[in-house]
A and B are shown apart, each in its own frame.
Chain A
Amino acid sequence: SQKIEQNSEALNIQEGKTATLTCNYTNYSPAYLQWYRQDPGRGPVFLLLIRENEKEKRKERLKVTFDTTLKQSLFHITASQPADSATYLCALDNYGGATNKLIFGTGTLLAVQP
């Protein structure tokens, strides 16, 4: 069956450390993958998009990797801050890039302790 799996348990880290969140997928062949941030009671906010032919993408303190062999994406936040505390969602395309429909994971809650 098709699955998108993100760490179901909350990730607790100390301020200043690097947070690494995992997104694994099974029986999908995404043309691209996106990461979003969601704060409680709010809609998700787009962070980064990475295509299947890209290994890594960076934006300020954020870095995303995409390994289509391992069927995994890693999302890194360097020099983490308490303001980075939120739920992070990965989402992938399962339509060969033909549409803009996405399939979302359940998200990982990140808590950065001061």
Chain B
Amino acid sequence: SQTIHQWPATLVQPVGSPLSLECTVEGTSNPNLYWYRQAAGRGLQLLFYSVGIGQISSEVPQNLSASRPQDRQFILSSKKLLLSDSGFYLCAWSSQGSNQPQHFGDGTRLSIL
């Protein structure tokens, strides 16, 4: 069966520090991969979308970047964190094509001090 792993579960970082969040998927190949941010009381905001290795679509202008160095690995990064980067970050995968459900990891709670 397919599984998705995200780590760390929680992270506290100072303003201006770098960030690297990792997400890996097992049990499937060539998935679509997604990074979302969920602010308190807000919906999920799609940050990045990838249909294959090295193919990243940025959905909103921001201080973050994403990379997909391997088929089932998706990394969210920042060189310098801002206070506004605080939030709950979720990685998800789906099979290729439309009408596919998305399967989420358990997220990383990021607090910027």
Inter-chain contact count A-B, CB under 8 Å? Answer: 63
Q: Is the CB of B101 within 8 A of A43?
A: no
**What total of chain B residues lie within 8 Å of the partner, measured CB to CB?**
26
Question: Would you call A86 an interface residue if the criterion is a C-beta within 8 Å of the partner chain's C-beta atoms?
Answer: no
User: Which chain A residues border B42 with CB–CB below 8 Å?
Assistant: 106
Interface contact A32-B43, CB-CB below 8 Å: no
Residues of B within 8 A of A44 (CB): 44, 90, 102, 104
Contact for B106 among A31, A43, A46, A103, CB less than 8 A = A43
Chain A residues with a Cβ closer than 8 Å to the other chain, count: 27
Q: Scan B100-111; emit 1 where CB is below 8 A from any A CB, else 0.
A: 111111110100
B101 near A46 (CB under 8 angstroms)? yes
Q: Which of A12-20, A55-63, A66-74, A92-100 contacts B (4 or more CB under 8 A)?
A: A92-100
Whether the pair A43, B41 counts as a contact (CB closer than 8 A) is: no
**B46 at the binding interface (Cβ < 8 Å):** yes
Q: Chain A: residues with CB nearer than 8 A to chain B?
A: 4, 31-32, 34, 41-46, 49, 51, 89, 91, 93, 95, 97-107
- Partner-A contacts on B (CB < 8 A): 32, 34, 36, 41-44, 46, 49, 59, 90, 92, 94, 96-107, 109
